[in-house]
Amino acid sequence: MSATLPLDIAQYKQIVIMTGAGISVASGLPTYRGVGGLWETVDVASHATAAAMSEDPGKVWAFFSSVRRQIAQAQPNLGHLAIAHAEHRLRSDQSLTVLTQNVDGLHSLAGSTRVVELHGSLRQSRCTRCDFARDEDLASSPNGCPTCPSCAAPLRPAVTLFDEALPVDAVSGRWNVRHRVACLQFRARGRVRRSEDDLHQPRTDDATQSSFSRSHPRARRGGLAKFASRFVIGAAHQSVEVAL
């Protein structure tokens, strides 16, 4: 097991915390790939892919409506709250950004103000054709797929499905990384990993922005790892104990 080392956040001007489904387990939400995860109970290809959305939007909407009702019962846990608390304790020359794969919105609900939701949020829906978008009441999300009030096309959850490109805003992230940063990753088993290095500003050309897509759940390397490697250049990883 890796040695546990303290991390003094005060020495960093920019802190990036990366989270996935594991941080929301304590809020009562299942993971996706783990034991008892969502992808063990449904067929991904017919419920959560770009092709499924095109072929049967009603089935995709109904599946995510059931997930929305689970999220409606969840509250931020101590992990979410600790991250938000750490942000609000920073000096004026520091910032803390949460980079998350989660679509439950619990980081924002906990009070974090700089949250990049790589896979979107189930708290919003958008039109499959036009620019219409709306907030959703998670507890009363209908099973039947609603239509857009502007153009009558089916609505869809505002999340990144498998085989879809990540949102350009999430990939570019409006990053302005010029200082040494602390990059923390919260993993499903509760361990925190740190990547410590100088970060380079990402390119903003169209080819770069369109090259990140959500991979199939059986892929060996997930979207967060691919995304993080774009910014963390040659970083060494080690387990750390973070006093938030």
What pLDDT, on the 0 to 100 scale, is given for residue 221?
A: 39
Only one residue has tokens 């942000």, namely 87
Distance CA 135, CA 229 (A): 32
Catalytic residue flag (residue 88): no
Instruction: Give pLDDT, residue 40.
Output: 87
What confidence score (pLDDT) does residue 242 get? 41
138 CB contacts (<8 Å, ≥6 apart)? Answer: 68, 69, 71, 72, 122, 123
Distance CA 8, CA 12 (A): 8
State if pTM tops 0.85.
no
Q: Are 212 and 226 in contact (CB under 8 A)?
A: yes
CATH placement of domain 5-241 = 3.30.1600.10
Sign of CA dihedral 12, 237, 217, 36: negative
> Domain residue spans in the chain?
5-241
Q: How far apart are CA 132 and CA 138, in angstroms?
A: 18
Catalytic member of 119, 200, 216, 237: 119
Binned average pLDDT, 10 residues per bin, the chain of 244 residues = 63 88 93 83 92 96 96 96 93 92 96 94 97 95 93 97 81 50 54 39 32 43 40 33 40
Place of tokens 């390397």: 221
Residue with tokens 């040494």: 180
End-to-end CA distance of the chain: 22
Q: What span, in angstroms and rounded, lies between the C-alpha atoms of 11 and 77?
A: 27
Confidence at residue 170, expressed as pLDDT on a 0 to 100 scale: 64
Report pLDDT for 152. Answer: 97
Angle, CA of 116, 219 and 241, to the nearest 5° = 50
